[in-house]
């Protein structure tokens, strides 16, 4: 994040956190678990989220009319404000006193984006002291859970079968694993409350990212990643759907190969963290609609034909025993898949939104998760609307003559001298180039446009071959621009951008731009209203904003309002793993987000055609 | 049942059922689903269960004071009565007009005891017509279930995975299997509502009895039985508990061998009924506490030591996929074990009580389920109290010199001439005798007592060897009475009753008598108050009441009040299978039944010692 960080301290708890200037104080406090009484949810109606600003008051926006309705002139003079009307000002430090600070909470720092989450996982363990009396041990344990910990539970079959051994003579206590505040899923002898782990996994079409997390602290212990082994059966989602439908038995092949790889990643993490798989009680899964269905063993045939009827949008909880591959986790463990919005706008998008949730949603914000399908979510005070753009894999380096994935030896930045048309480029790791990755393609096309090599319609200009040897022609027509000569490359050929490559990029960026534009139109806003445009996914991590702006991939919002957040889906899966309230929020968010079917918009074709042009 | 059957017809539905004279009209109508409005549950307080007696009025008891409070003299003159005050009179036919007869119901006739149950199973199937619109198929189906059938459900994971194939293009309907009114457990393409089966099984310590039932009609299709294969690891419950605890891995051996035999019985039934195992969606299990725990794979160690702490008394529902042996049933099938009362008073006792539920419980009734442990339940208007008596296996023919199970060649009746002391006997199938079964032992001892061969203290009399050669002596002391001479038997020896056998029977009958007596004492009643003494189990089916009375096995209630009902536990399991309300009643009954620990009663030893005597 490029915004300036402000050190905000809260009294009387004394807690201090660093957040970007502009952060909404009401939401920040809610996320930190600093409860302020309110009955309107931060809409400025109830006037109950009163706080006293003790430092940094001078840099605040003046009290709004709403605030003046709820605060007396004396209170205003003493520095009282309503939290819901205050944004953290761009000062070095800012201090807030809350009349009703809640219990002590923990701050969770996740990599990439700072996210503030109070650990409150779906899985919790409770130790119960065994009494010597009482006939029915199940009823005794359930009543103790209720009396001592306030959790009203039932006990499931697996826990029941563990009970006789757990209460063996001589044992003085047992530990209950409670799922979602309502089901005892496991019972162990003694006090094992200290051992409670979970994993979060983002199942990408091409990559798996798995995080092992301590559920008591919410801390990530280790991380492991690997390619999605389903690529054996197709590079993209559509080819895997075709494979799954081609023959009975193929679906289970896709499910099993994925589960086996997950099992390997979990084992890796356990070894690296030095913990027993038996202490893992839950997994939380993000992934696009197709990946989640394949994980669950649900035929993706519903995604094969337009309109893409969805089976279900809710999060699904599976006992690991119900899966066809044994995962190295506790036998009572559950896996929860996050909800989806609709069509291809899946659990990864929901997770990504969870990860960027902290930003102020009262002003319009746009989230893009760029991939073969690019999902766009536009949110404002009225809610959210989402669509999926068939952007194609150009920005993943696919369907491009010399395209490759963002990895060693791939060209990621290009610069072209507008006078000489000479090229300088860099590769991700400085090695000799073997191809061009998505960000390199965006960069190259942007430079070609700026240098006038490509016209605004995407065609190579005439007479270019007189200016530079880098233009190759067929029948006198320019068809290719060489970025790296054969002798410079690691492959036995020139690396170039072809006319066809340009068209692929035009199609991709037009699809994304059209998605963004039609969503804004639906909400009656323009790019000027967008306060923040958040780009998630690998593409955003390498690309430079200027190239993207030059080729017109996004609405023109100004580079300072564009933020890259990397694998936000993985972060969101971790958030949902360590916070049941956040998971419930994901469920509400998925249901509250309107799905917009781009292909059904009469303006689609015209908008798309115009967006093929460079700006 | 020995009571006279009366043909009772109900208007306006025209339904006719045959029930014993004395049947409570209120309960009969409730069990038949003939709803009469009432707010007091048949206690004569609300006066709302008004019916008009159209035939058989003259044979009724006159209106009670309670009735006269709620009925006008005109109504009484016209034949109006309150159903809760009417018992079916001993007339050939009896006709009742109900002002508010409910919907048409079906009558279920089970073998042995007639039981009137309205089929209303836990598993029901609903066909849903598929619309072409709507994004989320799960939500559409759940809303249709609610709108059209009034069932508010969630969908479980297994059903969700079946959904994509079920809604395949071109299909116009799907069928949902709904469990306990709240969970969709399976979804099939097309309308399969006609195919809905379940099984009920009574897991006895020595025998399995399995019934395949059509859940739509409640009708039994086929029955299959076999020995409990766990006998390989011990004849009685205690030896199996020892085996299970002896070594890790033994518990699963006992569970698996039982499940495999159940699988074989289910397959047998499917073949005999000509149906596919895929249409079986539920099983309902009765059995004693130990058998149920072994079935569920729960270590029975809690039953090894006094006091016998129970793990749980509730009914447990298991997905068949959670069991270590694959049963030949639908993959979404559940198995439900009935609740238990406490200690060894298990799900078989609860099931047996369910099967005899129709009798009038306002007057004290005693239920005995005779086996190695004999369970006694005493019920009256104030509720029920139960105990388990360690009667030992004498009445199962075990621990008796020439004892054997009730089967071919076993002596089941004995008669001894009081003058000559000559013996006549019969065997179950008329074959040459090989031994004596439980009822034969009871009969022989009773005859020996009546003939004065055995004194009231159970000792052989003096000087008997002068009167008959059948007495064998050691040192001049009678030790044995021969029932069948070697040349009459199928075994190469005399078949006789020894002094030790007599003591075994005394111990067994004393245990049962003590249980009955101490329960009555707890409730402040005597044998005279017992309106009905119901004997369940194989023993009761063969024994003659007079023998039992002679040896003083039960309180002295008069033979006309003793009823044998055979395998009531199996009948109860079938009732719980076809009626969720009955299953819920079983749950309430198990919790409402007070458990009485005989061994803790200070009067136990004295009562037991006195009961060792013959009356």
- Looking at CA atoms only, how far is residue A170 from chain B in angstroms? 13
Among the partner residues B139, B167, B322, nearest to A321 by beta-carbon distance: B322
Query: In this structure, what CATH number is given to the domain that contains residue B315?
Result: 3.30.420.480
Residue A250 has pLDDT above 50, yes or no: yes
Q: Among partner residues B135, B169, B298, which is closest to A310 by beta-carbon distance?
A: B135
Chain A closest-CA separation from residue B274 CA (Å): 28
Any chain B CB within 8 A of the CB of A299?
Answer: yes
CB-nearest to A313 from B136, B163, B305 is B136
Pair A61, A132 in one domain: no
Instruction: Say what the pLDDT of residue B355 is.
Output: 86
- Are A299 and B165 a contacting pair at CB < 8 A? yes
Q: In what order do the strands lie in the sheet with B410-416?
A: B423-427, B410-416, B435-436
Domain membership of residue A404 (yes or no) is no
Q: pLDDT at residue B260 above 50?
A: yes
Here the tokens at position A20 are 């970007």
* Backbone phi and psi for residue B423, each to the nearest 5 degrees, phi listed first: -115, 135
Dist CA A159 CA A36 (whole Å): 38
Please provide the DSSP assignment of A200-266 as one string: EEEE-SSEEEEEEEETTT--EEEEEEEE-GGGGG-SSHHHHHHHHHHSTTHHHHHHHHHHHHHHHHH
Residue B11 shares a structural domain with residue B86: yes
- Find the closest chain A residue to B292 by CA distance: A161
Nearest chain A CA: its distance from B245 CA (Å): 10
Confirm whether B536 is domain-assigned.
Answer: no
Which DSSP letter does residue B191 get? -
pLDDT band at A358 (very low <50, low <70, confident <90, very high): very low
**What pLDDT does residue B38 have?**
59
pLDDT, tens digit, 9 for 90 and up, residues B449-467: 999 999 999 999 888 888 8
Kindly report the nearest CA distance between residue B79 and chain A, in angstroms: 51
> B140 CA to chain A: closest CA distance, Å?
9
Closest B-chain CA to A303:
B164
Which residue bears the tokens 């245990």?
B511
User: Which one of A156, A189, A222 terminates a domain?
Assistant: A189
Q: Which domain holds residue B61?
A: 5-97
Tell me whether residues B160 and A322 touch, CB distance under 8 A. no
Contacts of A170 (CB under 8 A, 6+ apart): none
Amino acid A203: pLDDT: 95
- Whether A305 maps to a domain, the answer reads yes
Task: Write down which residue in B63, B97, B131 finishes a domain.
Answer: B97
Predicted local confidence at residue A89, as pLDDT: 87
Question: What's the N-to-C CA distance of chain A in angstroms?
Answer: 27
Residues of B in Cβ contact (< 8 Å) with A334: none
Asked whether the beta carbons of residue B309 and residue A164 sit closer than 8 angstroms, the reply is no
DSSP string for residues in B530-580:
--EEEEESHHHHHS-HHHHHHHT-S----GGGEEEEESHHHHHHHHHHHBH
CA distance A243 to A258: 15
For residues B156 and B138, the answer to whether their CB atoms sit within 8 Å is no
Residue B478 lies in a domain: no
In a domain, B273, yes or no: yes
Same domain, B127 and B174: yes
Cα–Cα–Cα angle for A135, A139, A144, rounded to 5 degrees? 110
Number of domains comprising chain A: 3
Which neighbouring-strand residues pair with A368? A376, A535
- Contact criterion met (CB < 8 Å) for A169 and B300: no
DSSP class of A131:
P
Q: Does A342 touch chain B (CB under 8 A)?
A: yes
User: Closest by alpha carbon to B302, among A138, A192, A129, A177?
Assistant: A138
CA distances from A166 to A192, A196, B248 (A): 12, 18, 14
User: Within this chain, do residues A88 and A172 fall inside the same structural domain, yes or no?
Assistant: no
Of A250-264, A406-420, B174-188, the least confident: A406-420
Q: Are residues A224 and A247 both part of a single domain? A: yes
Torsional sign, CA B23, B29, B30, B32: positive
Distance from CA of A315 to the nearest CA of B (A): 11
Which residues from chain B sit within 8 angstroms of residue A346, using beta carbons? none
- Partner B contacted by A160 (CB < 8 A): yes
Same-domain pairing of B145 and B212: no
- Please give the pLDDT value at position B39: 58
Chain B residues 33-62 with CB within 8 Å of chain A? none
* A-chain residue closest to B164, CA distance: A299
Pairing between strand A80-82 and A435-436?
unpaired
pLDDT, averaged across chain A: 87
Residues in chain A within 8 Å Cβ distance of B305: 169
Residue with the larger pLDDT of the pair B541 and A331: A331
Q: At B101, is the pLDDT very low, low, confident or very high (cuts 50, 70, 90)?
A: very low
Q: What does the block give as tokens for B158? A: 């297994």
What CATH number is attached to the domain comprising A66? 3.10.20.30
pLDDT tens-digit series, residues A78-104: 788 888 888 888 888 888 887 643 332
8 A C-beta contact, residue A495 and residue A483: yes
pLDDT for the residue A99: 66
Round to whole Å and give the CA distance between B437 and B427: 9
| pLDDT above 90: percentage of residues in chain B | 53
> pLDDT digits over A305-346, tens only?
777 778 999 999 999 999 999 999 999 999 999 999 998 899
CB–CB contact B163 A137 (8 Å): no
Same-domain check for residues B87 and B11: yes
ipTM associated with this complex: 0.78
Whole-number pLDDT of residue A14: 65
Question: Is A107's pLDDT higher than 50?
Answer: no
Helix (H) or strand (E) holding A526: none
Nearest-Cα distance to chain B for A411, in Å, is 42
The predicted-structure confidence for A113-136, as pLDDT tens digits, reads as follows 556 788 899 999 999 998 766 668
pLDDT tens track for B382-397: 789 999 988 887 887 7
Phi, then psi, of B340 in degrees rounded to 5: -120, 170
Residue A257 pLDDT greater than 70, yes or no: yes
The pLDDT of residue A13 is above 70:
no
DSSP 8-state assignment for residue A552:
T
Q: What percent of chain A has pLDDT above 70?
A: 92
Asked if the model's pLDDT at residue B361 lies above 70, the reply is: no
* Residue A12: other Cβ atoms inside 10 A: 9
**pLDDT score of A92:** 83
* Residue of chain B whose alpha carbon sits nearest to that of A337: B157
Q: What is the mean pLDDT of residues A446-470?
A: 89
Residues A275 and A240 placed together within one structural domain of the fold: yes
Give the residue, A37 or A297, on which the prediction is more confident. A297
Share of chain B above pLDDT 70, in %: 92
Question: How much is the pLDDT for A169?
Answer: 67
Lowest mean pLDDT among A433-447, B62-76, B404-418, B419-433: B62-76
Q: Closest Cα to residue B283, out of B246, B242, B240, B329? A: B329
Q: What is the pLDDT of residue B449?
A: 93
Q: Is B67 in the same domain as B93?
A: yes
The CA distance from A505 to A507, in Å, is 5
Q: Specify which residues A97 forms β-bridges with.
A: A11, A52
Question: Nearest CA to CA, how far is A566 from chain B (Å)?
Answer: 30
Write the DSSP assignment of A292-349 as a string of letters. HHHHHT--GGGGTSSS--BS--S-EEEEGGGSSS--SS-TT-EEEEPP--BTTB-HHH
Higher pLDDT, A516 or A11: A516
Out of B168, B309, B317, closest to residue A135 by CB? B309
Residue A384 lies in a domain: no
**Are A131 and A167 contained in the same domain?**
yes
Band (B29; pLDDT cuts 50, 70, 90): confident
Cβ–Cβ < 8 Å for A508, A373: no
Range with the poorest average pLDDT among A272-281, A300-309, B35-44: B35-44
Model pTM score: 0.78
B340 within domain boundaries: yes
pLDDT at B2 (0 to 100): 46
Q: Does A131 touch chain B (CB under 8 A)?
A: no
Alpha carbon distance B348, B582 (integer Å):
15
Share of chain A above pLDDT 90, in %: 52
Contact A313 B139 (CB under 8 A): yes
CA–CA min distance B342, chain A (Å): 8
Chain B interface includes A298 (CB < 8 A):
yes
Specify whether B85 is located in the same domain as B221: no
Q: Provide the 8-state DSSP code for B326.
A: -
Q: Contact, A189 vs A207, CB < 8 A? A: no
Instruction: Please tell me whether residue A366 adopts helix, strand or coil conformation.
Output: strand
CB of A214 within 8 A of CB of A270? no
8 Å CB contact between B517 and B378:
no
Interface of B with A in 304-323 (CB under 8 A): 305, 307, 309-314, 316-319, 321-322
pLDDT value at residue A97: 83
Do B322 and B245 have their domain in common?
Answer: yes
Residue A545 has pLDDT above 90, yes or no: no
Of residues A12 and B565, more confidence is placed in B565
Chain B residues with CB-CB distance to A165 below 8 A: 299, 301
B317 belongs to a structural domain: yes
**Any idea which residue has 């897991």 for tokens?**
B203
Residues facing residue A11 across a β-bridge: A97
Q: What is the pLDDT of residue A1?
A: 38
DSSP structural state of residue B324: S
Asked whether the beta carbons of residue B300 and residue A164 sit closer than 8 angstroms, the reply is yes
Give me the residue from A139, A299, A318 closest to B157, CB to CB. Answer: A318
Count helices and strands in chain A by DSSP H and E runs: 17, 27
Q: DSSP label at A2?
A: -
Question: Is residue B7 within 8 Å of residue B94, measured between CB atoms?
Answer: yes
Question: Is the pLDDT reported for residue A521 higher than 90?
Answer: yes
Q: Any chain A CB within 8 A of the CB of B155? A: yes
What local confidence, expressed as pLDDT, does residue A467 receive? 85
Single residue among B31, B63, B97 that ends a domain in this structure: B97
The DSSP secondary-structure symbol of A72 reads -
Measured between beta carbons, the chain B residues lying within 8 angstroms of A302 are 137, 164, 167
Q: Chain A contact for B298, CB < 8 A? A: yes
- The residue with greater pLDDT, B476 or A459, is A459
Per-residue pLDDT, B605:
93
Whether residue B191 lies within 8 A of chain A, CB to CB, comes out as: no
Q: How far is A132 from chain B (nearest CA, A)?
A: 10
Residue A110: pLDDT band with limits 50, 70, 90 = very low
More confident residue, B17 or B208: B208
CA distance A65 to A63: 7
Asked if pLDDT for residue B4 goes beyond 80, the answer is: no
Residue of chain B nearest A131, judged by CA positions: B309
Cβ-based neighbours of A515, under 8 Å, separated by 6 or more? A374, A376, A387, A388, A389, A598
**Locus of tokens 């998925």:** A590
Q: CB of A161 within 8 Å of any CB in chain B?
A: yes
Q: Kindly indicate the confidence band of residue B36, based on its pLDDT and cuts at 50, 70 and 90.
A: low
Q: Cβ of A299 and B135 within 8 Å?
A: no
Contact B373, B367 (CB under 8 A): no
């Amino acid at each position: 994040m490029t915004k300036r960080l402000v050190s905000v301290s809260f009294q009387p708890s004394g807690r201090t956190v660093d957040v970007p200037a502009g952060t909404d104080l009401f939401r920040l406090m809610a996320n930190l678990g600093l409860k302020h009484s309110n009955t309107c949810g931060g809409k400025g109606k109830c006037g109950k989220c009163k706080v006293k600003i003790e430092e940094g008051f001078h840099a605040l926006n003046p009290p709004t009319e709403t605030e003046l309705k709820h605060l007396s002139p004396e209170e205003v003079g003493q520095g009282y404000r309503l939290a819901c009307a205050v944004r953290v000002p761009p000062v070095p430090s800012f201090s807030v006193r809350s009349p009703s600070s809640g219990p002590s909470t923990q701050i969770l720092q996740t990599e990439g984006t700072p996210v503030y989450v109070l650990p409150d996982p779906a899985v919790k363990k409770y130790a119960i002291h065994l009494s010597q009396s009482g006939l029915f041990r199940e009823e005794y344990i359930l009543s103790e859970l209720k009396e001592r910990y306030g959790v009203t539970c039932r006990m499931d079959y697996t826990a029941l079968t563990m009970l006789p051994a757990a209460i063996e003579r001589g044992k003085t206590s047992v530990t209950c694993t409670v799922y979602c505040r309502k089901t005892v899923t496991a019972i162990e002898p003694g006090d094992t409350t200290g051992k409670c782990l979970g994993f979060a996994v983002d199942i990408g079409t091409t990559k798996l990212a798995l995080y092992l997390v301590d559920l008591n602290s919410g801390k990530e212990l280790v991380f492991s990643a690997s390619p999605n082994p389903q690529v054996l059966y197709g590079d993209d989602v559509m080819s895997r759907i075709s494979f799954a439908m081609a023959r009975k038995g193929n679906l289970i092949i896709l499910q099993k190969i994925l589960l086996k790889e997950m099992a390997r990643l979990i084992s890796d993490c356990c070894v690296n963290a030095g913990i027993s798989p038996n202490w893992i009680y839950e997994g939380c899964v993000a992934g696009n609609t197709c990946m989640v269905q394949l994980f669950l063993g649900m035929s993706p045939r519903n995604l094969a034909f337009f309109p893409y009827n969805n089976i279900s949008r809710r999060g699904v909880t599976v006992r690991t025993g119900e899966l066809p591959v044994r995962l190295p986790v506790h036998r009572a463990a559950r896996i929860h898949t996050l909800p989806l919005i609709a069509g291809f706008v899946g659990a990864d998008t929901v997770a990504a939104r969870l990860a960027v949730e902290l930003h102020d949603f009262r002003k319009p914000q746009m989230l893009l998760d760029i991939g073969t399908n690019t999902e766009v979510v536009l949110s404002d005070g009225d809610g959210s609307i989402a669509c999926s753009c068939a952007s194609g894999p150009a920005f993943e380096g696919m369907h491009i003559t010399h395209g490759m994935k963002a990895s060693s030896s791939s060209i990621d930045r290009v610069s072209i001298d507008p006078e000489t048309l000479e090229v300088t480029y860099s590769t991700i790791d400085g090695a000799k180039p073997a191809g061009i990755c998505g960000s390199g393609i965006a960069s190259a096309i942007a430079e070609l446009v700026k240098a006038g090599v490509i016209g605004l319609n995407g065609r190579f200009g005439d007479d270019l071959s007189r200016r530079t040897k880098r233009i190759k022609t067929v029948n006198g027509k320019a068809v290719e621009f060489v970025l790296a000569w054969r002798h410079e490359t690691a492959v036995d050929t020139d690396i170039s951008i072809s006319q066809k490559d340009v068209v692929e990029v035009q199609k991709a960026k037009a699809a994304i731009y059209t998605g963004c534009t039609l969503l804004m139109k639906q909400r009656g806003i323009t790019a000027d209203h967008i306060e923040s445009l958040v780009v998630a996914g690998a593409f955003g991590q390498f690309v430079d904003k200027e190239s993207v702006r030059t080729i017109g991939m996004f609405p023109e919002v100004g580079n300072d309002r564009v933020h890259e957040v990397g694998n936000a889906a993985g972060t969101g899966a971790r958030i949902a793993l360590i916070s049941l309230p956040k998971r419930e929020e994901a469920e509400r968010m998925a249901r509250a987000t309107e799905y917009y079917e781009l292909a059904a918009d009469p303006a689609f074709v015209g908008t798309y055609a115009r967006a093929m042009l460079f700006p």
